[in-house]
Amino acid sequence: MNKKNITYRRFDTLIIGAGGGGLRAALQLSEAEASVAVVSKVFPTRSHTVAAQGGVNAALANVSEDNWHWHMFDTVKGSDYLGDQDAIEYMCRAASKVVYELEHFGVPFSRLDNGSIYQRPFGGQSKNFGGAQATRTCAAADRTGHAILHSLYQQNIRAKTHFFDEYFAVDLIKDEEGNIQGALIFDIKSGDIVVIEAKTTLIATGGAGQLYRTTTNALINTGDGMAMSLRAGVPLQDMEFFQFHPTGIAGRGMLITEGARGEGGYLVNGLGERFMERYAPNAKDLASRDVVSRSIATEIREGRGCGPDKDYILLKLDHLDESVIQKRLPGIRQTCKTFLGLDPAEKAIPIFPTAHYTMGGIPTNRYGQVVTPVKDTPEEAVQGLYSAGECACVSVHGANRLGGNSLLDILVFGRSAANHIITQLQENRFHRQLYQPSVDQALERLFRWDKKGDGESVEGLRKELKKVMDENCGVFRTQEVLDEGIAKVSALAERMKDAVIDDHSDIFNTARVEALELENIMDVALATVYSAAARTESRGAHSRIDYPDRDDINWMKHTLYFSENRSIDFKPVRTKPLSVDSFPPKPRIY
């Protein structure tokens, strides 16, 4: 790569990531006439928000009675009481407004007969603080993510947002006082290096589903922003909580939306039983995701799976009207036909719990400011740095995310981060003097892949890492297995230092991109296994066979993992909401 020819560009704000979170923030900023640069390693509409299916939660009450307070209760309970209740109140209160805005942006929501937005029931939703099933998920058929992402991109075209499409962000630039000053990026098409100087930087790089072998996540979901933050000295929060979605296509990983169960689908085991009735007598198939995934895994472990090897469960939709499937679930029908040669209107779908969502991430407050402990204060804002979306941890999802709450999260906090940035920009009129040593450090990381000679292969390491994460940090965990996971991932991280690539060309060098991505996901894997080994209780998605119970006395706290010395720290859960009474921890029954 050309070390001499580096371009320096200046913007008010840099946004890394053009998924729903990044684009919602960009739109707010562009409309406020801030100069904003959006950097994305893929063309914006190829970001993985495009794959979201089922919908976005908001208590619009278009189908049945509902209000934000019930939504808040469900989210707190769903989080297994680890979510921060101030942020959750903020999100649930903002939900309706944010969805109406989306509609005004042009999102082609499905419609009810009276012309209002269509809503469907989703898991973990209730009326009246734990009562009957609510109907809260606003949907555009089963292509809600596509509809939202494209509409947001389109509105950004109107607002004339400045895009850097197919540019890869390498590292943040940080000065001696700890202010974040932008990032070093390179143009994947040409290999040209650019330093974007910005008064504020927002990380919206999405999740890290590529930690695991079978995943609903895209190949680009490699946790880059999380790793960049770690390298800038910021911890990652609650990384032990990784969501396994109950219904990925067995062996392949494509998602079958929870909306399929919302529309009336249900699960059966090898004996033909509707086993969810045993595990969740009220909510049944629409219990929270962690509950359904564990139930499926238990059925299979106890020999009641389906098929010749009893290694999957069936999702039945064939009792539904064909017109319901065509109208409400056309996307998953197409996916089943393509990947299984099966029409769900006629035959049940083989499914298995599949890696899906990163609950943990870069710690932020509800204004999107990245926060880190400084001396005795648990949460001090990192100057100039913001984060929103799946890469961030606000934390509204706590130990387990409810379906339909992530699209809401990315929109609400993308928007609120942008609003906070706008006030910051009014106070900070000028760019600070760029700190060159930090630029040099980022360059070093990039040029390290120009090294020639023999060494470990990136492909080999990636495969081994996913295998370790599957085996040592999956649905069920024990101390022994997790400690082994730490040893194995650490060994891989060590071998990573000797990795080389053969391709050193500048033009669209995908080998280099994949190497940088592997480095990132390796750092995120370390954070995940270390955090999981530290938490000796079972809560939400973190399910310890050796510590089967939730322990509210010792563990109502967030985990923080620091790259330096690979150390673990904790900070309290924010149990005090903004205006209503706190929801104290209760046993979680669905």
Partner 1 sequence: MRFKIYRFNPEIDKKPYVQEYVLDKVEPGMMLLDALKIIKEQDPTLGFRRSCGEGVCGSDGMNINGVNGLACVTALSDLSSPVEINPLPGLPVIRDLIIDMDQFYKQYRAVKPYLTRKEPLPELELKQSPKERDKLDGLYECVLCACCSTSCPSFWWNPDKFLGPAALLQAGRFLQDSRDQSTSERLEALEGPFKLFRCHTIMNCVQVCPKDLNPTKAIGEIKKMMLTKTI
Supply the residues annotated as catalytic: 289
User: Between 144-158 and 85-105, two packed helices, what is the crossing angle to 10 degrees?
Assistant: 70
Minimal distance, residue 18 CB to ligand FAD, in Å: 4
Judged by CB under 6 A, the residue of 66, 89, 224, 285 near ligand FAD is: 224
Which string of x and - marks every residue 476-495 that binds ligand FAD (by CB under 6 A)? --------------------
Position 194 contacts ligand FAD (CB under 6 A): no
What ranges make up the beta strands (E) of 337-464?
349-358, 362-363, 369-374, 377-387, 392-393, 456-457
Judged by CB under 8 A, the stretch of 124-132, 330-338, 350-358, 446-454 that binds partner 1 is 330-338
Position 340 contacts partner 1 (CB under 8 A): yes
Extract the tokens encoding 349: 């779908």
Which string of x and - marks every residue 66-105 that binds partner 1 (by CB under 8 A)? ---------------------------------xx--xxx
β-pair type (162-165, 167-174)? unpaired
Position 18 contacts ligand FAD (CB under 6 A): yes
Is the Cβ of residue 252 or residue 304 nearer to partner 1 in the bound state? 252
Extract the tokens encoding 152: 């947001």
C-alpha angle 359/365/369, rounded to 5°?
A: 105
Minimal distance, residue 498 CB to ligand FAD, in Å: 23
**Which residue is associated with the tokens 């890290």?**
208
Judged by CB under 6 A, the residue of 15, 34, 56, 88 near ligand FAD is: 56
Judged by CB under 6 A, the residue of 36, 230, 255, 411 near ligand FAD is: 255
Extract the tokens encoding 322: 């064909």
Is the Cβ of residue 242 or residue 275 nearer to ligand FAD in the bound state? 242
DSSP string, 195-260: EEEEEEEEE-----GGGSSSBSS-TT-S-HHHHHHHHTT--EE-TT-EEEEEEEETTT--B--THH
Position 135 contacts partner 1 (CB under 8 A): no
Candidates 17, 35, 5; CA nearest to 422 is 35
Position 155 contacts partner 1 (CB under 8 A): yes
Position 111 contacts partner 1 (CB under 8 A): yes
Candidates 108, 234, 229, 206; CA nearest to 409 is 206
Which residues, 6+ apart, have CB-to-CB distance to 68 below 8 Å?
59, 92, 93, 95, 96
| Residues facing 56 on adjacent strands | 138
Extract the tokens encoding 556: 């109502």
Judged by CB under 6 A, the residue of 12, 390, 519, 537 near ligand FAD is: 390
d(CA 583, CA 505): 56
Which residues, 6+ apart, have CB-to-CB distance to 178 below 8 Å?
233, 382, 383
Restricting to residues 454-513, name those near partner 1 by CB under 8 A. 458-459, 501-503, 505-511
Which SS3 state, helix, strand or coil, does residue 146 take?
helix
Position 267 contacts ligand FAD (CB under 6 A): no
Which string of x and - marks every residue 339-378 that binds ligand FAD (by CB under 6 A)? ------------------x---------------------
Judged by CB under 8 A, the stretch of 174-182, 195-203, 333-341, 562-570 that binds partner 1 is 333-341
Which string of x and - marks every residue 202-241 that binds partner 1 (by CB under 8 A)? ----------------xxx---------------------
Minimal distance, residue 32 CB to partner 1, in Å: 18
Q: Longest C-alpha distance within the chain, in Å?
A: 68
Position 407 contacts ligand FAD (CB under 6 A): yes
Return the one option of ligand FAD, partner 1, none that residue 54 interacts with (CB less than 5 to 8 A, by type).
ligand FAD
Judged by CB under 6 A, the residue of 28, 40, 201, 354 near ligand FAD is: 40
Position 256 contacts partner 1 (CB under 8 A): no
Extract the tokens encoding 497: 């230092």
Omega before residue 295 within 30° of 0, cis = no
Which string of x and - marks every residue 130-169 that binds ligand FAD (by CB under 6 A)? --------------xx----------------------xx
Position 519 contacts ligand FAD (CB under 6 A): no
Position 262 contacts ligand FAD (CB under 6 A): no
| Structural Rg of the chain based on CA atoms | 23
Candidates 448, 424, 423, 392; CA nearest to 171 is 448
Half-sphere exposure in the Cβ direction for 306 (13 Å, CA): 20
Return the one option of partner 1, ligand FAD, none that residue 398 interacts with (CB less than 5 to 8 A, by type).
none
| Residues facing 174 on adjacent strands | 180
Which residues, 6+ apart, have CB-to-CB distance to 108 below 8 Å?
140, 147, 151
* List of residues contacting ligand FAD (CB under 6 A): 16-22, 39-42, 47-49, 51-56, 144-145, 168-169, 204-207, 216-217, 220-221, 224-225, 255, 257, 357, 389-391, 403-407, 410
* List of residues contacting partner 1 (CB under 8 A): 42-43, 45-48, 50-51, 99-100, 103-106, 108-117, 140, 143, 146-147, 150-151, 154-155, 157-158, 189, 218-220, 252, 254, 331, 334-335, 338-341, 458-459, 501-503, 505-511, 514
